[in-house]
Amino acid sequence: MSNELQADKGWRVWWKLTRPHTLTASFAPVFLGTMIALYYTNINWLLFLAMLVACLFIQAATNMFNEYYDFARGLDSEESVGIGGAIVRNGVKPKTVMQLALLLYGLSALLGIYICYESSWMLLVVGAASMLIGYLYTGGPYPIAYTPFGEFFSGVVMGMLIVLIATFIQVGSVPNFAILLSIPSALLVAAIMLSNNIRDLEEDTKGGRKTMAILVGRKNAITILASYFIISYLWIVGLILLQIITPWTLLVILSIKKPLHAIKLFREKDNPLEVAPAMKDTALTNTIFVFLLGIGLLIGYFL
């Protein structure tokens, strides 16, 4: 068995169960939304922290639901790539994984109540809907992850909605400025899901999934992935040319090496283990791009 697929021990079992490479999909949009809010109000950093931790808990719990239900449906094995492996490789009881996921959901709900108290109770509905989508992504009778709509839902909820909520809890409204800047964030979170589905295309086909990557074919899926990257960068350039955002946001260009490498690797390799770094680069693209976008806004605000 490859070193990447060996059983883990101690704290590594629980750390890998959270699928840490995906957690940046929560941090980056919260940071971006808060930097957008800086242009409209003074930042409540305690609210920022509560929002950040709640999103991290929801993302980790969603990953655990994924682990539980893929095991329950017989899709995961010891050889499966890209999973936490807590159940199939490390012997953790499925019930324990589910209970841990529900605990994280409970903790995020408590943080959500605090956020609503400090901002608006309307967010209870939005937050509950987001958590439900997180569960239904792999749970329920018709999991979203098994359909062509996984990229859409993950992009809208984890990429766009988190940015808008992070702005709203600070400002009390959602400026058009925030909506415009949430577009590349949504595309890059969708790219993470698409890269995962490209890597797992063969295994997902055997498991009966109907992901977008399966429906359009591997070559076209890689082209779509590349388009997500291209549009994200051009979107920022366009907003700069229209003088909507500060030229400092062009810092996002510093992240371009990651998507170029990801696309190159996906086109040259098709073995799941060999293309795993491409998925990692895709996740890093989201993190670095959105973080640099926020940093650019921060610099532009003070200058």
Alpha-carbon distance of 47 to 119, in angstroms, equals: 9
> CA 112, 113, 118 angle in degrees (round to 5)?
95
Predicted TM-score (pTM) of the model is 0.90
> Does some domain include residue 5?
no
> Considering the chain, what percentage of its residues have pLDDT values greater than 70?
92
CATH number at residue 169: 1.10.600
Task: Note whether residue 1 is domain-resident.
Answer: no
Q: How many domains does the chain have?
A: 1
| 241 Cβ contact partners less than 8 Å away, ≥ 6 residues apart | none
Q: How far is CA 162 from CA 131, 169, 173, 194, in A?
A: 12, 11, 14, 19
pLDDT digits (tens, 9 = 90+) for 33-79: 999 999 999 999 999 999 999 999 998 998 888 888 888 877 665 55
Task: Give mean pLDDT, residues 152-158.
Answer: 93
Residue 261 domain-assigned? yes
**Structural domain includes residue 4:** no
Q: Is residue 151 over pLDDT 90?
A: yes
Q: Is 261 helix (H, G, I), strand (E, B) or coil?
A: helix
Tell me if 3 is assigned to some domain: no
Confidence of residue 6 (pLDDT cuts 50, 70, 90): low
On whether residue 68 sits in a domain, the answer given is yes
- 93 conformational bin, left if phi > 0, alpha if psi -120 to 50, beta if neither: beta
Which pLDDT score is estimated for 1? 43
Residue 72: per-residue pLDDT: 82
Domain that includes residue 118, residue range: 10-302
- Asked if residues 63 and 19 have their Cβ atoms less than 8 Å apart, the reply is yes
The pLDDT, as a whole number, for residue 2 is 46
**Could you tell me if residue 2 is inside a domain?**
no
Model pLDDT, residue 82: 55
Distance CA 230, CA 268 (A): 20
Rounded Cα–Cα distance for residues 117 and 123 (Å): 10
Residue 220 lies in a domain: yes
* CA atoms of 157 and 296, how far apart (whole Å): 24
pLDDT at 40: 97
